[in-house]
Chain A
Amino acid sequence: MRMRSFLKVAAVAAVALLAPAAPLLGGAPAARAQDTTKLTMWLDTTGGAETADCIRANAIDPFNALGKGISVEATMLANNWDATRTALAGGGGPDIVGTPGPSFAMQLALAGQLADLTGYADKLGWNERFSKGSLNIGMGADGKLYSLPTEVETLVLYYNTNVFKEHGWEPPKTLDEFMALVKQVKEAGLIPLAGGNAEWRPTNEWFVGEFLNHYAGPQKVYDALTGKAQWTDPEFAAAMEMLAQLQKDGDFMGGLDRYYTATDAERLSAFGDGKAAMNIEGSWFVSNAPLYFGEAAGNDDDWGWVPMPSKDGSAIYDLGVGQTYSVNAKSANPDAAAAFLDFYYSPATMARLLSECGLMPAPMSLEGQDLSKVDPRLSEIIAGLDKAYAENNYGYTTWTFWPPATETYLIENVEKVWSGDMSVADYLAGMQKQFDTDKAAGAVPPIPAR
């Protein structure tokens, strides 16, 4: 009797608890009509909601409107990469898989989560469409193609043109000129470099990569990445000493503590308002610059750029890939997904994304496309990178060509070098050790031959 009444109440409670399940479970994708092929895709929010909307309007909606019987459903996910990894590992995930870069795509490929795209590349002419050798970046150790590079990036040295004019400074070409200029800027009472990592800790690696490539030269970095040289090489050590000197002198935002706490808005306002003279940053800076320069920001300053100075003064551009797309190995419709990628990676779509959304294009020629809306300075940067790539004078960004564990080591430990808790020699020795481990595990992304 007592027992029964207890059970009854418990049963009621359980039903009450389960009640919301029915309509919510009924909303699962299985219930949808089958006449069009549905593809799912998750968009990053790094660029903000507006960029995601822009991608939808210029790349996804036009594809869906083609009438191929394929409909791509793009969802903006706040925590995209964590969600993607978890979902893939747990046997789910979107049909079209985005990653933050080729070395991440490679880990997914190693785990068998990505579909082999080699056949599609042959059939759809991707080998000819993408710049020579650039698809190698998306290949696994087995020589098959697993990911396509989305945004090509490079880092350059930006400077505030008004500040430079006012003080009669010339943008530097060599690293020696650069170091001398930094000193002059400081003597003039200004901040030499508008750098800070409060909101993006991996900012550290921008500078590490720039100094490795531009002091020791890309060939040496290539040798180290392919195992022909060691990271403990004296050239690399000298490069890291130079960067550490800048940080210890407080040349980034006026002190290490400020470097660690300056938000993007703070450091870029300082740059735009003329309190800071220069900024080493990627090509993504261009689409944010209008917020901090000119009328909208309440100043009449403007910015110019030069290639990041190098030891011998030659123009070196470090190549980076900001994002990759692949097809989920478990996708039920790999052909449809490949058809979407074919559309997405067409020069016309890339040109639209560049003009309308300020997104850097994939490595391919955009000749004949209308680029009149693109900031001419950005076009120049892209042209410079193109030329360097064609002439084999390009360097390697850490987030594209370093295996993830080594990259994490590099970002974390360089702060100990800057604070004086670790010597440059120990730092580089540790980097070599982690790199060897990753290399043995096959985690080093393929490095295109120079």
Chain B
Amino acid sequence: MRPAAGGRRRREISLLPNHVILILLWIFAVGPLVVLAFNSVKKTAELGRNPLGFPRDIVLGNFAKAWEVGNFSTTTRNSGILVAGTVAGVLILGGMAAYSLSKLNLPGSGPLTLYLLVGTSLPIQLFLVPLFFTWKRLGLVNSLFGLILIYIAINSPFAIFLLRSYMIQLPSDFEDAARVDGASEWQVFSRIVVPLSWPGFLTVGLVVALSVWNEFLLATVFLTDQNLFTVVTSYANFATRFGRDWTLTSAAAVMMVVPVIVIFLSLQRRFVEGLTQGGLKG
């Protein structure tokens, strides 16, 4: 009814309030991080007098010192292995389960869903000791692999449900066509459903990676060999009560966060590619 040109003009004009609100939200999100970055290059004495503002003298030595004290070269490697192993495991195993729940009419899916959700609701402190007991006997304490297994188990329920919610939205035409052509369920899963739910996998991978990168309690309890410490464990060594050097702590925090932001940035591009390649953009 409305002329197309008018419609287009209306959309262009109406995007301005979007930008205004989004800029405010953006400042709310990023502002505190800017303060953190400022504090990481301040001198300790300046921080006390100027906790929020731009640094007067920029001291980059905080980073070198934090790198050395925090033993970041080792801890980054360990955290990297934990993240890679867990993400791979969760995506493969969780993706399979999500496929079964969303596309294969899994008999008994109700009780399974309930089990996984209730399992998610158990506070970890509750089963820490029995779990340690089991892992000790299996020789999986002080082993990155042992911790990866725990992380996969703990992170997969969320992954399964989120992936399921993506897969359920996929139209089943492609799958049905493939099945008629004689494809096995594994082939349908790996060649059709996985590529189509690529953004979902990416999101899950990101969420799992972050939760592993930032996990503290299990990492400190299951890895007590200092060659196996993670980034967060060694960060906690900075954040001790007394004589805390906030500039050093901030520098360590910045170093922890920067690699994650870089990875996220590079994934963002893939994220958009995934959307377009999936052919789902209407």
Contact = CB atoms under 8 A, between A and B. Distances in A.
Do A and B actually bind?
yes
A82 B219 CA distance: 11
Given A87-B132, A89-B132, A91-B136, A28 B88 contact: no
Interface string B201-242: 000000000000000110011001111000001101110111
Contacts of B242: 46-48, 264, 284, 287-288
Nearest to B227: A27
A119 interface: no
A46 B241 contact: yes
A45 interface: yes
Interface residues of B, number: 47
A245 B130 CA distance: 46
Contacts of B234: 78
Nearest to B92: A13
Interface size grouping (class) on chain A: 35 or more
B153 to A, nearest CB: 13
Contacts of B216: 78-79
B186 A6 contact: yes
Contacts of B88: 16-17
Nearest to B183: A2
A269 B224 CA distance: 35
A298 interface: yes
A25 B143 contact: yes
A265 interface: yes
B243 A48 contact: yes
A73 to B, nearest CB: 9
B220 A83 contact: yes
Specify the main secondary structure of chain B where it touches its partner: helix
Interface in A31-55: 42, 45-50
Nearest to A1: B184
B93 to A, nearest CB: 8
Nearest to A93: B224
Given A2-B184, A86-B129, A79 B236 contact: yes
B62 interface: no
Contact of B128 (A2, A86, A91, A265): A86
A2 B128 CA distance: 41
A296 B48 CA distance: 12
A83 B221 contact: yes
Contacts of A296: 45
Nearest to A268: B242
B224 A42 contact: yes
A203 B137 CA distance: 39
Contacts of A46: 240-242
Given A24-B143, A92-B132, A49 B241 contact: no
26 contacts: A5-B186, A9-B186, A13-B92, A17-B88, A24-B145, A27-B143, A45-B236, A49-B240, A75-B226, A78-B216, A78-B220, A78-B236, A79-B216, A79-B217, A79-B220, A79-B233, A86-B128, A87-B132, A87-B221, A90-B141, A91-B137, A92-B141, A94-B224, A287-B243, A296-B45, A297-B45
- Top 3 nearest A-B pairs (CB, nearest first) are A90-B132, A78-B236, A2-B184
Given A6-B186, A76-B226, 13 more contacts: A10-B186, A13-B92, A21-B143, A25-B143, A27-B227, A28-B142, A46-B240, A48-B244, A78-B234, A89-B129, A90-B130, A287-B243, A297-B45
